[in-house]
Structures are given as structure tokens and as C-alpha cells.
Copies of this chain bind each other. A is one copy, B any other.
Amino acid sequence: MSQLTDLATKLDALGHPIRLKIIATLVQNQQQMYLNEIAIKIGVSRALAKIHLKKLEKAAIVKSHIVTAEGEAKALRYYELLPFDIHVSPQMLRMEVEKNGQ
């Protein structure tokens, strides 16, 4: 995948209010959160939170893993934020595109 496509994927993943809220919630809590916590915190259904988290995970903005904690009803999937710092401006895009040849 080209640099440009990768950038587009990340920007696309970030381009939705719910997903921005999910990210903000994950930063606020520092530690990892599981699906239901996230859903409740931002006020959407688990199913919907899952869908948006899936898109974030595909774009490598979050990652997840299952944790089997004792005393818990079942294994939980924990999500954590991967660090990112995206900067987009016309000049920066010009350089990016020229790098990839035409």
C-alpha cells in the first residue's frame, strides 16, 4: 500500500464524529477499555461501537486483544489507542504525491 493510500485510509477512518469521540474517550481513560465501556461512555449501542472500532482497527489507529480476567462473565476484548500525529496541508500533500511518482 502506497504512502498516499495509507494516509487516505487513516483520514477516512478519522472522518466520522463517533470515531473521533471514541478516540477522545480512549485518551481520557489512558488505560485500555473494553467494548461495552466505550459504547456506554459515548452513548451508542455496543454493536455500533464495534463497527466503528473495526474501522479504526483496520486503519491501525487502535488495536485490540482479548483478555480473560478472573471473576468476569467472559473473555473481554480490550481496545487501546495506537499513537498517531497526522498533519495535512496542501504543501505537505504536494510533497507526498511527488514522492510516489506520477
Q: A residues near B, CB below 8 A?
A: 2, 4-5, 7-17, 19-21, 23-28, 81, 83-91, 93-94, 96-98
Q: Among the listed B4, B14, B23, which residue makes an inter-chain contact with A20, where contact means beta carbons less than 8 Å apart?
A: B4
Evaluate contact between B14 and A13: CB separation under 8 angstroms: no
Identical chains bound together, number: 2
Chain A contact residues, majority secondary structure: helix
Q: Among the listed B16, B84, B85, B89, which residue makes an inter-chain contact with A12, where contact means beta carbons less than 8 Å apart?
A: B16
**Complex Cα gap A89–B23 (Å):** 9
Find chain B residues with CB under 8 A from A83 CB: 90
28 A–B pairs (Cβ distance < 8 Å), ordered by A? A4-B17, A4-B20, A8-B16, A8-B20, A10-B15, A11-B14, A12-B12, A14-B15, A14-B88, A20-B96, A20-B97, A21-B97, A23-B90, A24-B90, A24-B93, A24-B96, A24-B97, A24-B98, A27-B93, A28-B94, A81-B90, A83-B90, A84-B88, A85-B87, A85-B88, A85-B89, A86-B86, A87-B87
